[in-house]
Amino acid sequence: MKIVKLFPLIVLSLCIIGLLAVYSTDPLRGSGIDLKSFFWRQLFWCLSSWMVFYLVSRIDYHWFIKLEWILFLLIIVSLSAVLFFGSGDETGARRWLFSRSVQPSEFSKVGFAIFLAALLSASPEEHGSWWLLFKISVLSVLPMVLIFVEPDLGTALVIIVLWFSGLFFCGFGWKKILTVLALFGGLMPISWLVLKDYQKQRLLSFFSPQSDPLGRGYNVLQSQIAIGAGGFLGKGWLSGTQSQLRFLPAHYTDFIFASWCEQLGFIGGILILILFFWLIWTIFRVSIEASDLEGKIMATLFGSMFTFQVMVNIGMNMGVMPITGIPLPFISYGGSSLFINMVTMGIIWNIAKSGGKE
């Protein structure tokens, strides 16, 4: 119980590290309070997200479970809207609604996790059955495809991970899981045809970042250089040349971990790793201690979602995972992502508190 009680503190620590990291990479940081500056925007999002965290943590999580089909409908409608009315970003992908203020794919991750939890907890007797396997597979593929064609490879992968976690944690046998995996693997070559060129390149660059340092592998290489040049203790707060001189791309979003490590070294990196491990460990503790199946499944799905995002983002920063555009939760700059992560934390905290009461 003690570990679980420290939960908001871990989240707070990560949020503070996030603010520090964004501050250190903010090109406008010297110019006082400026709403154009990344740091002040992030601070604003951080404060409002904590209010949301407080509010959500006071809502009984069963209320979210009851939303199940409404949530699913919302996901499908907003994702379809993006495809038709969305605005694109510099890579040509359409991910935004209302002129780049809302990213539905971010919300759909959490919404889908809740929907899946509701679906799985509603029929515990069917756990492990072919019928349920078929049902959740069909219902997962729909949002996944919609996100995939935006394209937002990272979020699409998160949906896959949620689907797979649902199977894994709800007692589906190894044979069934392997069958699904094999089926999925069989479909991979087809998906290669659907992938956009830049996505193919991102995947290819993962395999040999050295081959073309100014082209596909540039980002990965610069990120590795940033981490490596930081050494054990780092170059010092605010003094990394890789990020300050902008050799490191997206140094305040996707590659913020590398930028942090350049400044604070191996020690700084370890701090983030430990905090995330602790956070995820706690989420699974919450699941174990939750009083009912709904809470258990929901916490578990959230736990695997965070595991995946942290692993892929940090792995990508170190060049051992492909570049998928998944931000580092709480730390990467970005309002939608922080907001939705805090909603998730609020729900988990509510589950934790209800579990404690019983």
Per-residue x/- track, 155-194, another protein (CB under 8 A): -------------xxxx-----------------------
For position 281 contacting another protein by CB under 8 A, the verdict is: yes
Q: Which is nearer to another protein, 97 or 310 (CB)?
A: 310
Q: Which listed range, 58-66, 70-78, 188-196, 280-288, lies at the site for another protein (CB under 8 A)?
A: 280-288
Here the tokens at position 341 are 């992560």
Q: Which is nearer to another protein, 52 or 258 (CB)?
A: 258
The amino acid occupying position 13 is S
The answer to whether the CB of 141 falls within 8 A of the CB of 185 is no
Site for another protein (CB under 8 A): which residue of 88, 92, 215, 228? Answer: 228
Site for another protein (CB under 8 A): which residue of 29, 41, 62, 127? Answer: 127
Q: Count the residues in the chain.
A: 358
Total of chain residues touching another protein, rule CB under 8 A? 48
Site for another protein (CB under 8 A): which residue of 77, 81, 181, 320? Answer: 320
Coil/strand/helix, residue 315: helix
* Pick from 177, 179, 241, 249: nearest CA to 209: 249
For position 226 contacting another protein by CB under 8 A, the verdict is: yes
DSSP alpha helices (H): ranges in the chain?
2-5, 7-25, 38-58, 61-66, 68-85, 104-122, 130-148, 153-169, 174-194, 197-207, 218-230, 241-244, 256-289, 293-317, 335-357
Q: Which listed range, 9-17, 154-162, 289-297, 329-337, lies at the site for another protein (CB under 8 A)?
A: 289-297
**Degrees (nearest 5) of the Cα angle 45, 46, 50?**
115
For position 24 contacting another protein by CB under 8 A, the verdict is: no
Write the CA distances from 102 to 80, 196, 272, 308, 334, integer angstroms: 14, 23, 27, 23, 11
What does the binding site for another protein look like in residue numbers (CB under 8 A)? 124-125, 127, 168-171, 222, 224-232, 241-242, 245-247, 261, 265-266, 269-270, 273, 276-277, 280-281, 284, 287-288, 292-293, 296-297, 300, 304, 307, 311, 314-315, 318-320
